[in-house]
């Protein structure tokens, strides 16, 4: 598993290592004895037990067998899968194409009541038009995905937008003003997207904030992220997709969102910025 610098990922890896080390101690074994029983070099036991290396499922099976605790195997492997799920490299998520990645988040969307999203580069996916989505996903596909299922991926993203109109969900979207003029696609696609922003921003359960260009701003743009209720944050990085559930990290992103939200304009002022960008296109 790729190692992420996120404290959420590291904390989960450390917790798994601690449980494995405790099994060894409870069995009255030292690291060298465990290594001999598993047929490993002693350094492997040391790296796993100190969270410097992440064990495989087979490593966990061998560890539990050596400690006489096969009953713990399934639970520990489940913990391993949870750790692996926190940090997913793009090539793993998208190895069969882009549609699967779009569909995989729908259950999360359906169980979330409050959405907060900040985007420094693009209009957030839940409020994109079909044409804009196609341009975004086509750029992704050309850069890193061998399978061309862009049309199916666009359809999946459009289908999940139904959550905006279902239930009592609330949505707060923040974008940098540069998003309104990012040159993605042609002028017609961008104009259609800006028109859509004006429409969706008028919905009673949706807030669209624009952070204006200005000198002397107190906080520079950060990576784009989504906050789902108070339970989870997802961050799209250059190398992969990060899922954060540790309360302290979720709070850190919520605090960042609040700071950015204070810098944004809304309502009439936001519509004026969007309309000005539209006039430039036309």
pLDDT per residue as tens digits for the range 174-210: 999 999 998 778 999 999 999 999 999 999 999 999 9
CATH classification of the domain holding 271: 3.30.870
Q: Are residues 151 and 276 in the same domain?
A: yes
Q: Are residues 11 and 119 in the same domain?
A: no
Q: Are residues 274 and 183 in the same domain?
A: yes
Residue at token pair 């520990």 = 76
Q: Which residue has the higher pLDDT, 114 or 89?
A: 114
Q: Which of 60, 87, 114 is the last residue of a domain?
A: 87
Give me the pLDDT at residue 6, please.
57
62-78: pLDDT as tens digits: 999 999 999 999 989 87
Q: Is the pLDDT of residue 23 over 90?
A: yes
Return all residues near 231 (Cβ < 8 A) that are at least 6 apart.
245, 250
Q: Which of 27, 26, 25, 44 is nearest to 35 (CA)?
A: 44
Which secondary-structure segment (H or E) carries 93?
Answer: helix 90-93
216 is a domain residue: yes
159 is a domain residue: yes
112 is a domain residue: yes
Q: Is the pLDDT of residue 2 over 60?
A: no
Range of the domain at 52: 7-87
Q: Are residues 168 and 106 in the same domain?
A: yes
Give me the pLDDT at residue 8, please.
63
Q: Which of 39, 55, 87 is the last residue of a domain?
A: 87
- Rounded Cα distance between 193 and 276, Å, is 14
Range name among 86-100, 130-144, 219-233 with the lowest pLDDT average: 86-100
Q: Are residues 264 and 200 in the same domain?
A: yes
Q: Is the pLDDT of residue 120 over 60?
A: yes
Q: Which of 87, 122, 138 is the last residue of a domain?
A: 87
Q: Are residues 71 and 113 in the same domain?
A: no
29-39: pLDDT as tens digits: 999 999 999 99
1 is a domain residue: no
Q: How far is CA 110 from CA 31, 159, 160, 241, 275, in A?
A: 46, 12, 9, 20, 32
Q: Are residues 182 and 105 in the same domain?
A: yes
- Rounded Cα distance between 115 and 172, Å, is 6
Q: Is the pLDDT of residue 243 over 50?
A: yes
CATH classification of the domain holding 71: 1.10.260.40
Q: Is the pLDDT of residue 262 over 90?
A: yes
- Rounded Cα distance between 241 and 87, Å, is 6
Q: Are residues 152 and 268 in the same domain?
A: yes
């Amino acid at each position: 598993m790729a190692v992420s610098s996120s404290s959420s990922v590291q904390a989960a890896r450390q917790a798994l290592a601690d449980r494995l080390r405790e099994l060894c101690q409870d069995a009255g074994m030292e690291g060298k004895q465990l290594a001999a029983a598993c047929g490993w070099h002693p350094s492997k036991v040391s790296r796993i037990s100190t969270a410097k290396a992440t064990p495989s499922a087979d490593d966990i099976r061998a560890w539990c067998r050596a400690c006489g605790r096969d009953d713990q195997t399934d639970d520990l492997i489940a913990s391993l899968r949870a750790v692996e799920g926190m940090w997913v490299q793009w090539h793993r998520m998208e190895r069969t194409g882009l549609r699967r990645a779009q569909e995989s988040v729908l259950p999360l969307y359906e169980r979330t009541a409050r959405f907060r999203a900040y985007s420094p580069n693009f209009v957030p996916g839940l409020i994109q038009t079909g044409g804009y989505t196609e341009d975004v996903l086509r750029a992704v596909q050309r850069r890193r995905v061998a399978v061309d299922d862009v049309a199916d991926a666009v359809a999946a993203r459009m289908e999940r937008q139904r959550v905006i109109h279902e239930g009592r969900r609330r949505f707060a979207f923040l974008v940098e003003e540069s998003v309104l003029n990012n040159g993605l696609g042609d002028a017609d696609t961008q104009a259609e997207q800006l028109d859509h922003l004006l429409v969706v921003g008028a919905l009673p359960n949706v807030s669209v904030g624009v952070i204006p260009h200005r000198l002397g701003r107190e906080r520079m743009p950060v990576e784009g992220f989504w906050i789902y209720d108070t339970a989870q944050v997802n961050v799209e990085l250059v190398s992969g997709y990060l899922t954060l559930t540790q309360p302290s990290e979720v709070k850190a992103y919520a605090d960042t969102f609040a700071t950015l939200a204070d810098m944004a304009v809304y309502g009439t002022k936001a519509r004026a910025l969007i309309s000005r960008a539209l006039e430039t296109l036309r």
